[in-house]
């Protein structure tokens, strides 16, 4: 799995400390004032992340399997006829 997007997000938040503090403050306020909404949104976000990860994993597996099938169909004597 390619973790470059995580590195990009992390470096963005490290470069913008004020934005990071603001995001953390909003998260804390939401968790304190509206815990039901916060945890419901957190659950939905984790559920969507899991679904998207599963879709990307399965599509990647299918692509590599299809690539193997295409390579098996190439016969060794095909190049000898030319």
Domain-wise residue ranges, the chain: 1-33, 35-74
Using pLDDT thresholds of 50, 70 and 90, give the confidence band for residue 65: low
CA dihedral 13, 15, 21, 27 (to 10 degrees): -10
pLDDT at 81 over 60: no
Using only C-alpha atoms, what is the Rg of the chain? Answer: 23
Q: Which three-class secondary structure state does DSSP give residue 80? A: coil
Cα 71 from Cα 40, distance rounded (Å): 47
Cα 26 from Cα 79, distance rounded (Å): 64
pLDDT at 34 over 80: yes
Cα 46 from Cα 52, distance rounded (Å): 10
């Amino acid at each position: 799995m390619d973790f470059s997007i995580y590195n990009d997000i992390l470096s963005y938040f490290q470069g913008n400390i004020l934005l990071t503090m603001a995001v953390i403050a909003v998260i804390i306020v939401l968790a304190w004032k509206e815990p039901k909404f916060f945890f419901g949104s957190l659950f939905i976000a984790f559920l969507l992340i899991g679904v998207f990860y599963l879709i990307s994993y399965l599509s990647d597996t299918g692509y590599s399997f299809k690539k193997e099938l295409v390579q098996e169909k190439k016969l060794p004597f095909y190049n000898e006829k030319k």
